[in-house]
Amino acid sequence: MSIAPAQVELICIGNELLIGKTLNTNAHWLAKRITTLGLLVRRITVVGDDVDEIASAIKESIQRKPVFIITTGGLGPTFDDKTLEGVAKAVGQELKENREALEMIKKKYRQYQAEGRIEKFEMTQYRVKMARLPEGAKPLPNPVGTAPGVLLKWGDVNLVMLPGVPQEMMAIFEKSVVPLLREVAGNLTFYEASLKIRGIAESDLAPIIDHVMHRNPYVYIKSHPKMSEKTHRIELHLSTTSDSQSIAKQRIERAIIEISELIREKGGRIQPVQT
Amino acid sequence: MSIAPAQVELICIGNELLIGKTLNTNAHWLAKRITTLGLLVRRITVVGDDVDEIASAIKESIQRKPVFIITTGGLGPTFDDKTLEGVAKAVGQELKENREALEMIKKKYRQYQAEGRIEKFEMTQYRVKMARLPEGAKPLPNPVGTAPGVLLKWGDVNLVMLPGVPQEMMAIFEKSVVPLLREVAGNLTFYEASLKIRGIAESDLAPIIDHVMHRNPYVYIKSHPKMSEKTHRIELHLSTTSDSQSIAKQRIERAIIEISELIREKGGRIQPVQT
């Protein structure tokens, strides 16, 4: 039986992503992690440090009704950190000083002062800014940096705002977001395998993929052509989602046996890929 | 004088991006290249191999009226290559065999046969598929691979569809898309510089950035905190867009002098970054 996985959308915020300064490794890491947890990333949106752009992206995403919207970036103390303002605008809320968040941040700066990293402990407007959350939101502790993550339940959608610094994003995700995702994922498992194929053109592989996918309706097979000087080289990626790890594995193994036979008949050579 | 750069949106298509199998280096490369050419990437959207998802993303993008929408991925011969079907659906067109595209593809397979890379020259439905374009579209020659890129002018929007294989995407972009972008970009130049800052917290840098940006209204200054074990380390990125390379350079240099002085006053240390 095939079960539809719960949907997640990612919204990555930051001009650095739109000018090609920063490679979006956050989206890549989150997509892999969320898929492995048995949920489906439906869309990834990247917008700049602009309240209206952020608010539009969030509103549009809410309309598609994913179970989770996870944003990265824009939670810090500087003027261009506008994520929470964008979220508040999208849901028609105000930003308010959140006592729990303020305590978390104060604790950090007291610690920084004790370590000699800042001169004086003083809650400037820039530091307090990180504690101004949309009403009803909950701060998520940041084990690595200063700005807390933020969770806001909005109707049936869970909005999760994470910082853009990868180590902070990953730490908050693992500690506070994974347990929430596991709750909605149930027992679903994503299972995948790859084969390296040589000596057959992708257009000749196409009818073979059609045939094997028709016979293995729960397995998704996608060909990824790789450039090399002389020979065709294609990576074949097989994946499935199931509530049973052993069924998932069986499905993939069966599809691999079938597709390998047909590829060899056409003169192709096959090599499994360690993942 | 500040001039608003022409807007571009990127739509990257492929399940591999949503399951975290593939890092989206295509979006990164295109964003950097387009920014350098003096245009503005407003949004990047990633969707899966699904006609409705592709069509929705394109329709939504058209409504935001960018000058260019550039898609990557989904032009190949397999069942999951659905980009042109999605584009056709978005603009309410049919896919039709395009004679020019068909000739390009035939020429490729004749060459592959001559090189012994395919057994027989035969225009199977899978090979013809790559020549089925929305009506009114123009194929863009692929100097590296098989599937041509596609250009479709739709009202005031130029839709450009590029393959997902990076070498093919880049080759078509450089040959056929750069000249089109240069036409709308005019003489605009994007100029940027980075500084490495140590010994000052981002929250203490925030008022300095506010002050310097207020005095340098055409310069955008963004702080990127980097994780390190003990010390604060922040990359400060300054950028501007101008129709004069020398004005752009002057603006950035002036802002660097001003911000450096203020950072040193607060005990921060500065190092320029080679880019």
- Beta strands B189-198 and B233-242: pairing type? antiparallel
Contacts of A64 (CB under 8 A, 6+ apart): A7, A9, A42, A43
The CA distances from residue B40 to A164, B69, B184, B248, in Å, are 21, 12, 11, 16
Token code pair at residue A208: 């073979």
B223 and B95 in a common domain: no
| Chain A residue numbers touching B17 (CB-CB < 8 A) | 31, 44
The CA distances from residue A20 to A24, A263, B64, in Å, are 9, 39, 21
B165 and B131 in a common domain: yes
Of B19, B42, B225, the CB nearest to A165: B225
Q: What is the pTM of this model?
A: 0.95
The phi, psi pair for B249, rounded to 5°, reads -65, -45
Domain boundary among A140, A167, A185: A185
User: Is B1 inside any structural domain?
Assistant: no
A71 and A136 in a common domain: yes
Contacts of B69 (CB under 8 A, 6+ apart): B8, B9, B10, B11, B58, B61, B62, B157, B158, B159, B160
B203 and B174 in a common domain: no
Domain boundary among B148, B164, B185: B185
> Using CA atoms, how far apart are residues A107 and A123, in angstroms rounded to an integer?
11
CATH code (residue A78): 3.40.980.10
> Using CA atoms, how far apart are residues A68 and A62, in angstroms rounded to an integer?
9
Q: What ipTM does the predicted assembly reach?
A: 0.95
* Cβ contact B31–A18 (<8 Å): yes
User: Is B2 inside any structural domain?
Assistant: no
Q: Are B149 and B139 in contact (CB under 8 A)?
A: yes
Number of domains in chain A: 2
Per-residue pLDDT tens listing for chain A (275 residues): 456 899 999 999 999 999 999 999 999 999 999 999 999 999 999 999 999 999 999 999 999 999 999 999 999 999 999 999 999 999 999 999 999 999 999 999 999 999 888 888 899 999 999 999 999 999 999 999 999 999 999 999 999 999 999 999 999 999 999 999 999 998 888 999 999 999 999 999 999 999 999 999 999 999 999 875 556 689 999 999 999 999 999 999 999 999 999 999 999 999 877 65
Token code pair at residue B208: 């300095």
Residue B194 identity? S
Distance from CA of B237 to the nearest CA of A (A): 9
| Chain A residue numbers touching B202 (CB-CB < 8 A) | 76-78, 146
B196 and B88 in a common domain: no
User: Is A247 inside any structural domain?
Assistant: yes
Token code pair at residue B101: 């595209």
> Using CA atoms, how far apart are residues A163 and A168, in angstroms rounded to an integer?
6
Domain boundary among A154, A185, A216: A185
CATH code (residue A222): 3.30.70.600
Domain span at residue A128 reads: 7-185
* Cβ contact A16–B213 (<8 Å): no
User: Is A1 inside any structural domain?
Assistant: no
* Cβ contact B78–A222 (<8 Å): yes
> Using CA atoms, how far apart are residues B75 and B58, in angstroms rounded to an integer?
15
With CA atoms as reference, the chain B residue closest to A199 would be B117
User: Is A2 inside any structural domain?
Assistant: no
Helix axes B245-265, B202-215, angle to 10 degrees: 140
A267 and A244 in a common domain: yes
A50 and A116 in a common domain: yes
Beta bridge partners of B273: B194
B256 and B172 in a common domain: no
B172 and B228 in a common domain: no
B162 and B207 in a common domain: no
A156 and A32 in a common domain: yes
| Chain A residue numbers touching B19 (CB-CB < 8 A) | 31-32, 35, 41, 190, 192, 239
A145 and A32 in a common domain: yes
